[in-house]
Structure 1
Amino acid sequence: MDLSQSQWREQLSNDDNAVILDVRTEEEVNEGHIPNMKHLDIYNAGAFMEKAQQMDTSKNYYVYCRSGGRSAQACAILNSLGYKNTFNLLGGFSEWEGERTV
């Protein structure tokens, strides 16, 4: 499910079962990221699939990338693996106005 920046922040702040997933490259993550995220580079397909198959499918995954394209793809992959609740951040980190860590 696609969420706007404000919907994403509001829903995340009220979710006790949330996991934030950053699917950008390591170089992009090093330039800044949302606090308390898990990093899972979608461009590293083998590692992405391996880790995705080990994660808890009952959690709610809030997924972002730079602009929203890779995270939408990641949500589709996770959904195909049996994940029930994946949320794509529209506009991605480039439009993020919330807290960030460098």
Structure 2
Amino acid sequence: MAKIMHKGMLKTWKENRGFGFIKPDNGGKDIFIHISSLKGVSRRPITGDVIYYQTAKDRTGKYKAVNAKIEGVELLENKPSLRMSRKVIMAIALGLLIAAIAVLFYIR
């Protein structure tokens, strides 16, 4: 069964500690959010961001945000990674090097 996505506004954010609290749109108690629940976002959250999240209980039984996303912020996993780009560049460079060596041997 799929978990329900909730929506709320980031009420506070402590950048130096990597956590804050979400004010849920449907009311109720503020929800704790840790930076680790925002995997793959292209920027850090700021106060006032609209956050979509699921909830889970922590070790003490309090609710926290999990699988969170920031409205309007791209996910890094949708972009080609730098590592892949380096692999492509290395493959092209190797291909050009092999072609240059073949041309040198052909000329002689």
Query: Is this a same-fold pair by TM over 0.5?
Result: no
- Structure number with the higher helix fraction is 1
Could you state the TM-score of these two structures normalised by the residue count of structure 2?
0.23
Larger Rg: 2
Could you state the TM-score of these two structures normalised by the residue count of structure 1?
0.23
- Structure number with the higher strand fraction is 2
Structure with more relative contact order (C-alpha pairs < 8 Å, separation 6 or more):
1
